[in-house]
Structures are given as structure tokens and as C-alpha cells.
Amino acid sequence: TQQVKQQPHSMQKGFSVISKFNDNHSQLLSGDNNRECLLEFQRHRLFKDVLYTRQSVDAWLNSQIN
């Protein structure tokens, strides 16, 4: 029962982290500066997509969870 009680909080925190990442990604796509210093990115030369390194995403996620 302890896990069931903790699950809604962890799900809410997960949605919060995803929302924060999506907000930052949308700002980058619109041309604003990167506000999350741990998220290193580069733009694809041909398609202009925003690409993140796996290490920077892992570091950012760890900083959000802990």
C-alpha cells in the first residue's frame, strides 16, 4: 500500500519534469535562448531540428529528480 500511496506523487512529478522539458524545447524552437544550462543542444544543419546529447539530458533529468 505504501507504493500505491507514493505513485500519484511520482506521476505528478514526472508530468512536471516532462512539461518543463517541453517548455524549454518550445522556447528553443521559437528562437529564444536556452534557459536550462544543463541541456546542451545543437541544431541539425539540414532540418533545423533541436538535438540534445544523451549526457546532457541525463544530467538535466538527474538535477530535476533529485
CA 46 to CA 60: how far, in whole Å? 26
Q: What's the CA angle centered on 39, arms 58 and 50, to 5 degrees?
A: 110
Dist CA 65 CA 19 (whole Å): 13
* Locus of grid cell 546532457: 56
- What was the pLDDT predicted at 4? 45
The model's pTM: 0.67
- Divide the 66 residues of the chain into consecutive groups of 10 and give the mean pLDDT of each group: 56 85 87 77 86 92 88
The 3-state DSSP composition of the chain as helix, strand, coil percent (nearest 5) reads: 60, 10, 30
Q: Where are the domains of the chain?
A: 2-65
- pLDDT for 38 equals 78
**Nearest to 65, CA basis, from 23, 14, 20:** 14
